[in-house]
């Protein structure tokens, strides 16, 4: 059969030439009306996003490589949770679809410095039992630029969490997205005296709308210029409200942990090559997209009830109320 052979060749080519932070399916399509404002994410819009499940979805995560999933430590605070109890669903927007790929977890690695009291060092890695296959719906996210740019063009979070803060049963089976703005650390410290330098704050820029962060463990991703590659800046960690008090969400600062990630990956015999996308890539992306004009995301009033916190995050927040 010629057709299956061609498809296999294309799949192998995609896997061999995969780049982090790109969206081959999403960016190749002509979209006449882009979904904006805390609505459903489009297919292939966040190809690094994964659902971590124990029977059902309970935390988010992101793809770092064919072997590694990045998430937060507090999702695995329970000592009773075994890697064999977990599965990672990749390449899906709709969790109810049977077309997505499910992978088993071999090892859960929480940061040894994780502190449950103040959520410091809230980061964890999952080593998959078998490598995932990259394609147009499954792509690794880029690790943070070093040094970080002075500002980001746009940032987003996405997740499958609850969509109504007063209804814990309002879990979404469809991947939802919200734009975010990173807040100055000193400004956030005034709102959260327990903030550490391993944390950053983000919220939606328009104070008339109160959008919450995505699933606990999911990525905060940003881009430097219109059409350029995406980098993970933070990991959704904790917060004090969800669409009620107008307070920002708290994220683990990923740039503080790239040496830790590299060390763990090497120790386990599955090293990462995340330094290949450095500040030079930022310059290349800027040159490539100098003529691109992409409007900033707008936000309808439907954002008022948007809240994508997962159950584990809500449990984690109970100590902060």
List residues with catalytic annotation. Answer: 74, 122, 216
C-alpha 55/C-alpha 227 separation (Å) is 37
Query: SS3 of 193, please?
Result: coil
Give the residue among 178, 172, 221 at the shortest CA–CA distance from 64. Answer: 221
How many CA atoms are closer than 13 Å to the CA of 178, on its beta-carbon side?
35
Q: Tokens for 159?
A: 């997740």
Give the residue among 28, 33, 20 at the shortest CA–CA distance from 44. Answer: 28
How many CA atoms are closer than 13 Å to the CA of 116, on its beta-carbon side?
10
DSSP letter at 94 equals B
Q: Tokens for 22?
A: 């790109």
- How far CA 24 is from CA of 30, 180, 289, in Å, comes to 12, 23, 16
C-alpha 222/C-alpha 199 separation (Å) is 16
Number of residues in the chain = 321
- How far CA 231 is from CA of 110, 144, 211, 224, 313, in Å, comes to 22, 6, 21, 9, 23
Residue 17: Cβ within 10 Å count: 8
């Amino acid at each position: 059969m010629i057709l299956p052979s061609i498809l296999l060749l294309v799949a192998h080519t995609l896997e061999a030439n995969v780049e982090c932070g790109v969206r081959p399916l999403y960016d190749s399509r002509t979209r006449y009306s882009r979904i904006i404002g805390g609505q459903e994410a489009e297919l292939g819009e966040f190809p690094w996003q994964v659902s971590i499940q124990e029977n059902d979805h309970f935390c988010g995560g992101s793809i770092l490589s064919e072997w590694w999933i990045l998430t937060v430590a507090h999702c695995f605070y329970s000592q009773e949770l075994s890697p064999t109890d977990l599965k990672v669903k990749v390449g899906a927007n709709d969790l109810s679809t049977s077309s997505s790929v499910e992978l088993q977890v071999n090892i859960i690695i929480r940061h040894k410095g994780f502190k449950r009291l103040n959520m410091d060092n809230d980061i964890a890695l999952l080593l998959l039992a078998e490598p995932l296959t990259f394609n147009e719906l499954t792509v690794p996210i880029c690790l943070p630029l070093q040094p970080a740019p002075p500002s980001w063009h746009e940032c987003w979070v996405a997740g499958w969490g609850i969509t109504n803060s007063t209804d814990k049963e309002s879990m979404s089976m469809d991947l939802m997205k919200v734009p975010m703005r990173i807040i100055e650390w000193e400004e956030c410290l005034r709102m959260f005296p327990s903030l550490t330098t391993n944390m950053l704050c983000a919220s939606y820029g328009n104070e008339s709308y109160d959008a919450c962060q995505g699933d606990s463990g999911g990525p905060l991703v940003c881009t430097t210029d219109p059409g350029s590659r995406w980098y993970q800046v933070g990991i959704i960690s904790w917060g004090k409200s969800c669409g009620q008090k107008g307070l920002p969400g708290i994220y683990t600062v990923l740039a503080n942990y790239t040496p830790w990630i590299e060390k763990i990956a090497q120790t386990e015999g599955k090293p990462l090559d995340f330094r290949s996308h450095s500040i030079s890539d930022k310059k290349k992306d800027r040159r490539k997209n100098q003529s691109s004009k992409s409007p900033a995301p707008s936000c309808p009033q439907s954002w008022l009830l948007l809240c994508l916190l997962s159950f584990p995050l809500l449990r984690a927040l109970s100590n902060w109320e």
